[in-house]
Amino acid sequence: MGTSEQTLQRTALTIVCLGAFITPLMLSAVNVAIPTIAQGLKMDAITASWVPLAYLLSSGVFLLPFGRLGDMYGRKKLFLSGMTTVTVASILASMAQSALLLILCRALQGMGAAMLFGTGIAILSSVYPPEKRGKVLGLSVSSVYLGLTCGPFAGGLVTQEFGWRGVFVFHVPVVLLVIILGLVNLKGEWRGPSGQKFDVPGAFIYGTAVIALMYGFSILPAATGFVLILLSGIGFAVFFRYEKRLEYPLFDVNLFSGNPVLTYSCVAALIMYSSTFSVTFLMSLYLQNIREFTPQLAGLIMISQPLVMTLFSPVAGRMSDHYEPRLIASSGMGLTAIGLAMLAAADTLTQTELIVLTLMLVGFGFSLFSSPNTNAILSSVDRKYLGAASGTVATMRVIGQMFSMGIVTLVFALMLGPVQFSPEQHGQLLASINASFIAASALCFIGVYFSLKRGNLRE
């Protein structure tokens, strides 16, 4: 292998890993700052939940279309466009003077992130030979967990020292470095086979169904909310039926036919992310509003969950190469469900040490689930479908994260209503947080059933 090829591979690995690090760093850092943002822009509880939800909703809507556009017009081009979009949106968010403007900027950030989600792994798969892909994909996943680990502490520190606006721009220098590296050192372009067609009707149906679902959740128990959720279900059914007939589908539904391991592994992933993503948002409110900890201390406590995930995910991945992934992943879901149930019992007198240990339990359970479940998904399809399977994993993750925040938004709407986070509301806020964790724990226990139902991968 020539020096130029090695340089290309190292450059691609560097910028993709930095991109994989920055996105969760930005997301988890902002979650820690939400109580301060809500106070600064006078947001009520439901509006504050839209700060992370707008980002996730936009990512979910654009993930599949941008993945397809990257295949058609160039993955590097779209990746660097995503980095540029994230930079512009971050700067605009730091200057927002109203809740609506901030939420719109977060949606723009989510659009940029979708360009990264849809192309980063594909770039690595394009420049590395098959015998090296596992190692570099593992480094990319580790970068995600490292970003999740650093995000809460960085977000808390920046918020406390520089105010909430700083949390939107502290990562911008690293993003600019990635853009420069990509333009100068990442030579060439990678795309899929020529002659592909973009599925415009499918993208419209899918995006409309996602938006209707999440907006419907946010306005429950209003009758319009139930109507939108029903229409969303019809939209998804039409989307899957339509995609089955296409030569170049936006989402390859046919992969699931006769493949229970793939089907139930994806359902388990969807449920796991639906159960766990809101933990950072809820704990940020609990620690800073109910317990009145500083943003920096809250961020330090919240590091415990992703730190355990970073340490144990590679171990769990290696275990799944030797033992049945179904058993490892299912046990991880069970431990996570227990941890979520323990968080549901937290009150004003719960010891901080117990909170840290419980977050570590949730993180350990997630680490046992994530790598083995992904291994099961990728191992259940033929090599030529690895790209589609990887896109499916990303889609389950983003939709699960959206659904997680949708559940919280629904609980807050029913129990708390459009009130600001004031000391007078702390009793209702704590009850809403506890109810959200109860719902998450129950959902996670249901997920154990689907995780076990997938069957053995090696039979």
Residue-level pLDDT at 353: 93
Shared domain check, 294 and 346: yes
| For residue 15, pLDDT beyond 60 | yes
The segment with the largest mean pLDDT, out of 61-65, 220-224, 364-368, is: 364-368
Judged against a pLDDT cut of 90, whether residue 259 lies above it is answered with no
Mean pLDDT of 85-106: 92
Cα dihedral 234, 237, 239, 245 sign? negative
Q: What is the pLDDT of residue 421?
A: 66
The predicted structure's pLDDT at residue 397 = 82
Comparing 172 with 132, which gets the higher pLDDT? 172
Q: State residue 4's pLDDT score.
A: 73
* Assigned domain for 49 exists: yes
Residues 235 and 256 in one domain: no
Question: How confident is the model at residue 306, as a pLDDT?
Answer: 83
| Mean pLDDT confidence for 123-137 | 68
For residue 36, give its domain range.
Answer: 1-186
Domain CATH number, residue 359: 1.20.1250.20
| pLDDT-above-70 percentage for the chain | 91
Instruction: Please report whether residue 361 resides in a domain.
Output: yes
CB-based contact 250:68 (threshold 8 Å): yes
Would you tell me how many other CB atoms lie within 10 Å of the CB of residue 155? Answer: 32
* Percent of residues, the chain, with pLDDT higher than 90: 19
Looking at the fold, whether 458 and 375 belong to one and the same domain comes out as: yes
**343 and 362 share one domain:** yes
pLDDT of residue 89 exceeding 70: yes
Both 315 and 415 in one domain: the answer is: yes
Q: What is the DSSP letter of 257?
A: T
> What residues contact 367, with CB distance under 8 A and at least 6 apart?
308, 309, 311, 312, 313, 315, 316, 332
Given this model, what pLDDT does residue 2 score?
54
Q: Which pLDDT value is given to residue 35? A: 84
CA 180 to each of CA 81, 86, 109, 176, 183: distance values in angstroms, whole numbers, following the listed order: 12, 14, 19, 6, 5
Of residues 8 and 40, more confidently modeled? 40
DSSP per-residue letters across 290-321: IS---HHHHHHHHTHHHHHHHHHHHHHHHHHH
For residues 227 and 274, state if they share a domain: no
Are 208 and 291 found together in one domain?
no
Confidence of residue 46 (pLDDT cuts 50, 70, 90): confident
Mean pLDDT of the chain: 83
Report the pLDDT averaged over residues 378-400: 72
> Does 372 score more than 60 pLDDT?
yes
Whether 313 is covered by a domain: the verdict is yes
Q: Are residues 288 and 223 in the same domain?
A: no
pLDDT of 20 = 83
Query: Has this prediction a pTM greater than 0.75?
Result: yes
* End residue of a domain, out of 134, 157, 186: 186
pLDDT for residue 446: 93
Q: Is the pLDDT of residue 92 over 90?
A: yes
* Structural domain contains residue 194: no
Helix, coil or strand: residue 447: helix
- The reply to whether 14 and 92 lie within a common domain is yes
Report yes or no on 178 lying in a domain. yes
**11 and 140 co-located in one domain:** yes
Q: Could you read off the pLDDT of 414-455 as tens digits, one per residue?
A: 887 776 667 777 788 899 999 999 999 999 999 999 888 876
Considering the domain boundaries, does residue 191 fall inside one?
no
* 193 domain-assigned: no
| CA distance linking residue 376 with residue 314, whole number of Å | 15
Query: In residues, how long is the chain?
Result: 459
Per-residue confidence (pLDDT) for residue 231, from 0 to 100: 94
Examine the domain organization and report whether 241 and 341 are in the same domain: no
Please state the domain count of the chain. 3
Per-residue model confidence (pLDDT) at position 412: 84
Please, which pLDDT band fits residue 384 given cuts at 50, 70 and 90? Answer: low
Judge whether 279 lies within some domain. yes
Higher pLDDT, 116 or 365: 365
Q: Check residue 418 and report its DSSP letter.
A: S
- Same domain? For 239 and 255 the reply is no
Higher pLDDT, 86 or 248: 86
